[in-house]
């Protein structure tokens, strides 16, 4: 009798596992896991949680960064199409965007390490791409890149805006305040065109559960800076899919309830997308790279861990100090030691905070710039002093590097008497995901692109240490056995490079 029961249990568990496997599509590494809802309702909505999180933070294993229980539903994205809000993904079954207009989910699948969801709404095709990418603050893949591309297949232009709402949930804290530049946002706020690179949220500097970070600007990751960001209670953003009743300074108490609950909405104002045109918005959310130094004055220092020396944008640095000493701190001051080869372009190296009450946190933003291009490791040091509490220091390293360069080989083969196929095999040898690469051929006299061929070949996301193949069909006015041509590479944030290749039939 035991054996049939066991057999039934085994069969049942197989069926259950099968059913669970289809509830979400997910990407996972040793730092993060991102789930995308794959059910009939709320399809395409995502949630993020840690797996082992930051190796230096023991408390942040298996902790949420956004709510995903039981399946992702509470964070969602809205598109404003010609003035009408459309919620991305499947029909909402719950309060977040319920009864709103949605399109038709036509596709959701794992493609080359990314989860792609496509929604058709009238003549617009909207694709959400979710992938884990290398975090510029930590240099590991603990950041989720969230990309939406709208393709207008209509013969008329359409005005398209977007709003991404993230229901932040850090560990067990559904109400952690936001830190944006020098602002500690403790009540409802809207920031218009705020020139900051990221927002962060965490509960404590001395014993953080999870430190999360969202990017608002990053040319290398092609992050689209939002026109405004709203830091509002989740209930209000859940109930209003686009505009909402904003009361500046209102507490984060969830609308209609009594619990505090923070959420963030990033807005991109409508722009006109022409027929056959596309519109892309991109943001990122994941772990924050904050170097911590617990103490009576607990310190945190965050900055990109790597910086391409070709980048012209200054390096943002945020310093945090929290009084965890048990009594008030007087004459508190923060000073940043700037390494050789850098200059301060924003902020002053020594800043007086003065009186800092118990458990209060202050943050200061600095911006640095390398004095001249060059590779190297540079150490920033933050020092806090007080007349009533012991001093403390923390350090963080910035490495300046040359930008990664893809390598390529070209081959040519004859398809018919006058048609040839030119194939470019492009390799990304770096540990970085390269984004927004475009390749074109400059053909010599006697060769031209086939009438159906497009010269521009984009690689939107080029995974690290991988290869991509691009090909062009060309037409020769006479028989060609060998020739020279130029491959033009355009790389966002780096510029355009031309590579001359000699080609013979069948060989590079």
Partner 1 sequence: MTPLDRTAFVITAIVHALVALFIALYPPIAPALDLPQQTLTASWHHEPETIRPAPKKAVQKQPKPLAAAAPKAAPSDTPAPASVTESMPVEPQPFETDRKQPDVQTAVTPVYPKRALINNWEGRVRVELRIGTGGQITNIKILQSSGFPELDTAYINSLKQQQYLPQEFRGNAVEGILEQDYTFSLDE
* Residue 172 beta carbon to partner 1: minimum distance, rounded to whole angstroms: 13
* Residue 86 beta carbon to partner 1: minimum distance, rounded to whole angstroms: 18
* Residue 257 beta carbon to partner 1: minimum distance, rounded to whole angstroms: 6
Q: Is 94 in the site for partner 1 (CB under 8 A)?
A: yes
Binds partner 1 by CB under 8 A, chosen from 202, 234, 244, 320: 234
Which residues are bridge partners to 352 per DSSP? 333
Closest CA to 306 of 197, 144, 395, 432: 432
The first and second tokens of residue 398, run together, are 């910035």
* Residue 233 beta carbon to partner 1: minimum distance, rounded to whole angstroms: 11
* Residue 264 beta carbon to partner 1: minimum distance, rounded to whole angstroms: 16
Q: Is 349 in the site for partner 1 (CB under 8 A)?
A: no
* CB-count exposure of residue 193 (10 Å: 0-12, 13-18, 19+): exposed
Binds partner 1 by CB under 8 A, chosen from 51, 82, 95, 463: 95
Biggest CA–CA distance in the chain, Å, is 86
In the complex with partner 1, the residue whose CB is nearer, 260 or 347, is 260
In the complex with partner 1, the residue whose CB is nearer, 93 or 423, is 93
Q: Between residue 261 and residue 290, which ones bind partner 1 under the rule CB under 8 A? A: 261
Measured CA to CA, the distance from residue 206 to residue 297 in angstroms comes to 9
Radius of gyration for the alpha carbons in the chain, expressed in angstroms and rounded:
26
In the complex with partner 1, the residue whose CB is nearer, 112 or 257, is 257
Q: Is 256 in the site for partner 1 (CB under 8 A)?
A: yes
- Which SS3 state, helix, strand or coil, does residue 310 take? coil
Write the DSSP string, 443-475: PPTTEEE-TT--S-EEEEEE-TTEEEEEEEEEE
Q: Is 182 in the site for partner 1 (CB under 8 A)?
A: no
- Which SS3 state, helix, strand or coil, does residue 96 take? coil
Q: Give the single-character DSSP code of 58.
A: G
Number of H helices, E strands in the chain: 2, 36
Measured CA to CA, the distance from residue 88 to residue 127 in angstroms comes to 9
Which residues are bridge partners to 399 per DSSP? 306, 377
The first and second tokens of residue 427, run together, are 């390799």
Measured CA to CA, the distance from residue 103 to residue 79 in angstroms comes to 11
> Binding residues for partner 1, how many (CB under 8 A)?
22
Binds partner 1 by CB under 8 A, chosen from 51, 52, 93, 335: 93
Q: Which stretch binds partner 1 (CB under 8 A): 198-206, 252-260, 292-300, 379-387?
A: 252-260
CB atoms within 10 A of CB 374: 11
Question: Using an 8 Å Cβ cutoff, are 449 and 473 in contact?
Answer: yes
CA 326 to chain centre: 37
* Residue 170 beta carbon to partner 1: minimum distance, rounded to whole angstroms: 16
Binds partner 1 by CB under 8 A, chosen from 259, 269, 456, 482: 259
Q: Between residue 27 and residue 86, which ones bind partner 1 under the rule CB under 8 A? A: 39-42, 67, 69-70, 73-74
Q: Is 101 in the site for partner 1 (CB under 8 A)?
A: no
Closest CA to 74 of 270, 235, 272: 235
* Residue 84 beta carbon to partner 1: minimum distance, rounded to whole angstroms: 22
* Residue 150 beta carbon to partner 1: minimum distance, rounded to whole angstroms: 27
* Residue 116 beta carbon to partner 1: minimum distance, rounded to whole angstroms: 23
In the complex with partner 1, the residue whose CB is nearer, 261 or 489, is 261
* Residue 310 beta carbon to partner 1: minimum distance, rounded to whole angstroms: 46
CB atoms within 10 A of CB 70: 8
Measured CA to CA, the distance from residue 230 to residue 170 in angstroms comes to 18
Q: Is 8 in the site for partner 1 (CB under 8 A)?
A: no
Question: Using an 8 Å Cβ cutoff, are 213 and 54 in contact?
Answer: no
Q: Which stretch binds partner 1 (CB under 8 A): 148-156, 211-219, 257-265, 428-436?
A: 257-265
Binds partner 1 by CB under 8 A, chosen from 51, 52, 91, 490: 91
In the complex with partner 1, the residue whose CB is nearer, 117 or 428, is 117
Closest CA to 39 of 105, 115, 87, 100: 105
CB atoms within 10 A of CB 243: 10
Binds partner 1 by CB under 8 A, chosen from 33, 254, 307, 396: 254
* Residue 80 beta carbon to partner 1: minimum distance, rounded to whole angstroms: 24
* Residue 100 beta carbon to partner 1: minimum distance, rounded to whole angstroms: 13
In the complex with partner 1, the residue whose CB is nearer, 23 or 149, is 23
Which residues of this protein are in contact with partner 1, per CB under 8 A?
1, 39-42, 67, 69-70, 73-74, 91, 93-95, 234-235, 254-257, 259, 261
């Amino acid at each position: 009798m035991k054996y049939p029961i066991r057999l039934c249990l085994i069969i049942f568990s197989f069926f259950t596992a099968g059913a669970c496997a289809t509830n979400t599509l997910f990407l996972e590494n040793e730092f993060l896991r991102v789930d995308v809802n794959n059910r009939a309702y709320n399809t395409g909505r995502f949630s993020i949680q840690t797996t082992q999180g930051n190796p230096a933070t023991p408390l942040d294993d298996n902790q949420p960064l956004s709510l995903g229980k039981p399946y992702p539903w509470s964070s969602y994205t809205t598109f404003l199409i010609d003035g009408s809000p459309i919620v991305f993904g499947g029909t909402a079954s719950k309060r977040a965007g319920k009864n709103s207009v949605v399109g038709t989910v036509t596709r959701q699948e794992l493609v080359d390490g990314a989860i792609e969801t496509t929604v058709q709404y009238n003549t617009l095709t909207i694709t959400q791409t979710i992938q884990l990418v290398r975090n510029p603050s930590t240099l590991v893949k603990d950041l989720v890149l969230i990309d939406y591309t709208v393709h207008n297949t209509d013969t008329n232009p359409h005005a398209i805006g977007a709003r991404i709402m993230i229901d932040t949930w850090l560990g067990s804290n559904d109400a952690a305040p936001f830190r944006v530049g020098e602002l500690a946002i403790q009540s409802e706020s809207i920031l218009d065109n705020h020139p900051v690179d990221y927002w962060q949220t965490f509960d404590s500097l001395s014993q953080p559960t999870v430190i999360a970070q969202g990017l608002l600007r990053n040319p290398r990751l092609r992050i689209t800076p939002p026109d405004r960001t709203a830091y509002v209670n989740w209930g209000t953003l859940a109930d209003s899919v686009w505009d909402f009743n904003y009361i500046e300074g209102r507490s984060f108490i969830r609308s209609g309830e009594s619990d505090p609950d923070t959420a963030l909405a990033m807005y991109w104002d409508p722009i006109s997308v022409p027929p056959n045109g596309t519109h892309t918005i991109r943001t990122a959310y994941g772990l924050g790279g904050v170097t911590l130094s617990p103490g009576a004055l607990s310190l945190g220092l965050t900055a990109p861990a790597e910086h391409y020396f070709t980048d012209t944008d200054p390096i943002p640095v945020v310093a945090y100090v929290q009084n965890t000493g048990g009594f008030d701190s007087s004459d508190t001051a923060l000073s940043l030691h700037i390494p050789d080869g850098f200059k301060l372009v924003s902020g002053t190296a020594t800043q007086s905070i003065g009186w800092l009450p118990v458990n209060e946190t202050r943050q200061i933003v600095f911006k640095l710039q390398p004095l001249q291009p060059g590779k190297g490791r540079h150490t920033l040091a933050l020092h806090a002093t007080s007349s009533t509490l012991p001093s403390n220091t923390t350090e963080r390293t910035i490495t300046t590097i040359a930008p990664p360069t893809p390598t390529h080989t070209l081959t040519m083969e004859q398809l018919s008497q006058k048609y040839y196929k030119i194939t470019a095999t492009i390799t990304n040898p770096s540990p970085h995901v390269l984004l927004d690469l475009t390749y074109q051929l400059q053909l010599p006299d006697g060769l031209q692109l086939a009438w159906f061929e497009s010269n521009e070949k984009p690689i939107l996301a080029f995974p690290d240490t991988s290869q991509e193949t691009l090909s062009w069909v060309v037409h020769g006015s006479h028989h060609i056995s060998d020739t020279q041509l130029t491959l033009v590479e355009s790389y966002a944030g780096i510029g355009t490079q031309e590579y001359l290749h000699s080609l013979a039939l069948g060989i590079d």
